[in-house]
């Protein structure tokens, strides 16, 4: 069902109620305040642009590693201001949700332990397409691929696109309770693999001007393969005269286990969002949006990885997740349908003379030394031509690592490594290693080539103008 329609008040059979109570014996009762059933929906007009303002505060603990001893206090203060214009979705249920936004403000201050960081949206990425999916709200920019920190910033609790899913599908009166569609809470909470979900709403009060809905619920499932439990409770206010929801108050708690690509969490988020028809369309007029792709595509879903200290960037799909990054090493992991398929470690090597690089023989010797007892044999070693002027040398290695099975017994796990030596004409060079098991090799396919072929060295101190189109090796 389309959750976007107009609000109307529909009294039921006033005349019949009157005569049923006021006939015979000279009765002259006046029924004051008789209950009226109301259809509560949100659609003041397909072309309406809204101004949305959100204040978000998060407090709790973050767990970089399993176990209570690793816990760090976490605090987040974030603010968002944007205009939003709805569009036609690509399907039913969550897929029926789509909008385009222009952010005037999007930023957060994050304190984890003793570390403080500030994140904001780049000016060139302020135009954002928002789409509903079964596993959450997907955000992308038609102008430029987003960075990982920008994606995390914009994935805020209580996204305005999903709020109308709380509204009842039938006419209700004060005190009535209903259950929204089963997809609403998992999409709102960003839960991928749902084990259990329940959400209920109550029309707490209503008058001629506004209605107030109370809601509460819980969803249990997984996020990127990590077990998660999210509970929500709050209130939604509707402006009956202007036919739209106008204020959301939300308390959301999340408990998440430490996962392959994400830390554990035990946090509470407090959200207050206000919404009103915009006085002007701003950057969302039909003229501004003419020719702009208002649906995500393969290019706009890419994420840009940047290492300014290395003068390096590349683009990757959203199954890759940045695990850590420091001055000379970065680690990403690839998760598909909750399964960890591969890990990629990138290491900056000392610069060589222009036109030079680490020799192939030394590179192989370093690999064998680094793997030690895990090394069995070299399977393949070759130079690759990936359509760029960059030197690329790949070495495929077979070996084993000690691990534990489900019975906590120590076993030798077969493993495969793809090592790459990458260097440009100026002598800048990197070593990359992709690690995965043989049983994951078919699913992982050649995704390592997509990253290696898309590596871009840029000039020191040059602006890092990421582009949204395809580059060599990207798929």
* Between residues 243 and 359, the one the model is more confident about: 359
The mean pLDDT value for 29-51 works out to 70
- CA 138, CA 94: separation in Å to the nearest integer? 11
The mean pLDDT value for 296-320 works out to 93
Same domain (yes/no): 199, 79:
yes
Same domain (yes/no): 107, 177:
yes
Instruction: Write phi, then psi, for 401 (nearest 5 degrees).
Output: -135, 150
Same domain (yes/no): 97, 180:
yes
Burial of 461 (0-12, 13-18, 19+ CB in 10 A): exposed
Pair of tokens at residue 304: 């840009």
Name beta bridge partners: 98. Answer: 131
Least confident of 14-23, 86-95, 205-214, 449-458: 14-23
The mean pLDDT value for 233-258 works out to 96
Same domain (yes/no): 82, 196:
yes
The mean pLDDT value for 130-155 works out to 94
Residue 296 lies in a domain: no
Instruction: Write phi, then psi, for 17 (nearest 5 degrees).
Output: -60, -45
- CA 73, CA 157: separation in Å to the nearest integer? 19
Instruction: Write phi, then psi, for 204 (nearest 5 degrees).
Output: -70, -45
- CA 413, CA 420: separation in Å to the nearest integer? 23
* Max avg pLDDT among 253-257, 403-407, 466-470: 253-257
pLDDT at position 196 is 96
Strand residue runs (E) in 292-371: 303-307, 312-316, 320-325, 329-336, 339-349
Same domain (yes/no): 322, 445:
yes
pLDDT at position 341 is 97
Same domain (yes/no): 276, 315:
no
Q: Is the pLDDT of residue 463 over 50?
A: no
The mean pLDDT value for 31-47 works out to 69
Last residue of a domain, one of 263, 289, 315: 289
Q: How far is CA 182 from the centre of its chain?
A: 20
Residue 54 lies in a domain: yes
Residue 315 lies in a domain: yes
Each residue of 6-37: b (16+ CB within 10 Å) or e? Answer: ebeeeeeeeeeeeeeeeeeeeeeeeeeeeeee
Element (H, E) at 189: helix 184-189
Residue 275 lies in a domain: yes
Same domain (yes/no): 79, 157:
yes
Q: What is the CATH number of the domain that holds 331?
A: 3.40.1000.10
Q: Is the pLDDT of residue 475 over 90?
A: no
Give the pLDDT band of residue 11 (cuts 50, 70, 90). Answer: very low
DSSP state of 70: G
- CA 311, CA 461: separation in Å to the nearest integer? 8
pLDDT at position 23 is 32
Residue 448 lies in a domain: yes
Same domain (yes/no): 132, 250:
yes
Same domain (yes/no): 350, 249:
no
The mean pLDDT value for 195-206 works out to 96
The mean pLDDT value for 191-201 works out to 95
256 contacts 61 by C-beta, under 8 angstroms: no
The mean pLDDT value for 107-114 works out to 97
The mean pLDDT value for 396-420 works out to 91
Last residue of a domain, one of 242, 258, 289: 289
The mean pLDDT value for 322-327 works out to 92
Give the pLDDT band of residue 36 (cuts 50, 70, 90). Answer: confident
Same domain (yes/no): 248, 123:
yes
Least confident of 87-91, 357-361, 398-402: 87-91
The mean pLDDT value for 407-428 works out to 93
pLDDT at position 75 is 98
Overall domain count for the chain: 2
Q: Is the pLDDT of residue 10 over 70?
A: no
Same domain (yes/no): 318, 210:
no
pLDDT at position 462 is 52
Pair of tokens at residue 271: 């959200």
Last residue of a domain, one of 289, 320, 337: 289
- CA 201, CA 6: separation in Å to the nearest integer? 19
Closest CA to 390 of 329, 452, 448: 452
- CA 239, CA 369: separation in Å to the nearest integer? 69
- CA 182, CA 197: separation in Å to the nearest integer? 7
Residue 32 lies in a domain: no
Q: Is the pLDDT of residue 415 over 60?
A: yes
128 contacts 100 by C-beta, under 8 angstroms: yes
Q: Residue 66: count other Cβ atoms within 10 Å of its Cβ.
A: 11
This prediction's pTM: 0.85
Q: What is the CATH number of the domain that holds 57?
A: 2.30.230
Residue 415 lies in a domain: yes
Chain position carrying tokens 């709380």: 166
Q: Residue 282: count other Cβ atoms within 10 Å of its Cβ.
A: 15
The mean pLDDT value for 95-108 works out to 96
Same domain (yes/no): 223, 356:
no
pLDDT at position 469 is 40
The share of the chain scoring above pLDDT 70, in percent, equals: 89
Least confident of 310-314, 393-397, 432-436, 459-463: 459-463
Residue 127 lies in a domain: yes
Give the tens place of pLDDT for each residue, 428-441.
999 999 999 999 99
- The conformational region for residue 190 under phi > 0 = left, psi -120 to 50 = alpha, else beta, is left
The mean pLDDT value for 277-294 works out to 92
Structural domain containing residue 349: 303-457
pLDDT at position 46 is 63
Burial of 75 (0-12, 13-18, 19+ CB in 10 A): middle
């Amino acid at each position: 069902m389309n959750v976007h329609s107009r609000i109307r008040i529909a009294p039921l059979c006033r005349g019949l109620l009157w005569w049923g109570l006021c006939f015979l014996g000279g009765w002259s009762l006046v029924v004051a305040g008789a209950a009226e059933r109301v259809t509560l929906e949100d659609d003041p007009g397909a072309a309406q642009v809204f101004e949305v303002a959100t204040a978000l505060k998060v407090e709790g603990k973050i767990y970089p590693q399993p176990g209570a001893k690793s816990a760090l206090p976490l605090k987040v203060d974030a603010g968002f201001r944007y205009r939003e214009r709805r569009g036609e979705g690509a399907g039913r249920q969550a897929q029926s949700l789509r909008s385009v936004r222009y952010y005037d403000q999007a930023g957060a201050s994050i304190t984890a332990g003793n570390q403080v960081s500030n994140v904001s949206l780049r000016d060139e990425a302020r135009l954002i397409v928002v789409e509903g999916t079964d596993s959450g709200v997907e955000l992308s920019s038609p102008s430029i691929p987003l960075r990982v920190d920008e994606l995390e910033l914009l994935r805020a609790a209580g996204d305005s696109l999903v709020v109308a899913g709380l509204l009842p599908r039938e006419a209700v009166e004060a005190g009535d309770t209903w259950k929204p569609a089963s997809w609403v809470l998992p999409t709102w909470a960003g839960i991928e693999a749902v084990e259990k979900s329940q959400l209920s709403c109550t029309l707490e009060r209503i008058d001629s001007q506004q209605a107030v809905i109370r809601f509460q619920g819980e969803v249990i499932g997984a996020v990127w393969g990590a077990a998660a439990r999210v509970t929500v409770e709050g209130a939604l206010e509707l402006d009956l005269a202007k036919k739209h929801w106008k204020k959301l108050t939300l308390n959301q708690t999340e408990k998440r286990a430490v996962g392959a690509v994400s830390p554990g969490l035990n946090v509470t988020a407090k959200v207050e969002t206000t919404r009103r028809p915009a006085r002007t369309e701003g950057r969302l007029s039909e003229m501004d949006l003419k020719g702009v792709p208002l649906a995500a595509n393969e290019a706009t879903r890419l994420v840009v990885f940047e290492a300014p200290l290395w003068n390096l960037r590349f683009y990757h799909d959203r199954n890759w997740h940045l695990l850590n990054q420091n001055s000379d090493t970065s680690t990403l992991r690839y998760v598909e349908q909750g399964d960890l398929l591969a890990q990629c470690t990138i290491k900056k090597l000392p610069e060589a003379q222009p036109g030079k690089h680490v020799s192939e023989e030394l590179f192989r010797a370093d690999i064998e030394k680094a793997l030690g007892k895990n090394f069995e044999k070299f399977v393949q070693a070759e130079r690759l031509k990936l359509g760029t002027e960059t030197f690329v040398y790949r070495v495929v290695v077979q070996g084993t690592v000690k691990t534990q099975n489900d019975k906590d017994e120590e076993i030798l796990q077969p493993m495969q490594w793809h090592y790459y030596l990458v260097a440009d004409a100026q002598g800048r060079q990197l070593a990359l290693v992709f690690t995965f098991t043989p049983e994951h090799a078919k699913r992982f396919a050649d995704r390592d080539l997509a990253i290696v072929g898309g590596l871009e060295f840029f000039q020191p101190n040059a602006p890092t103008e990421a582009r949204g189109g395809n580059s060599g090796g990207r798929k």
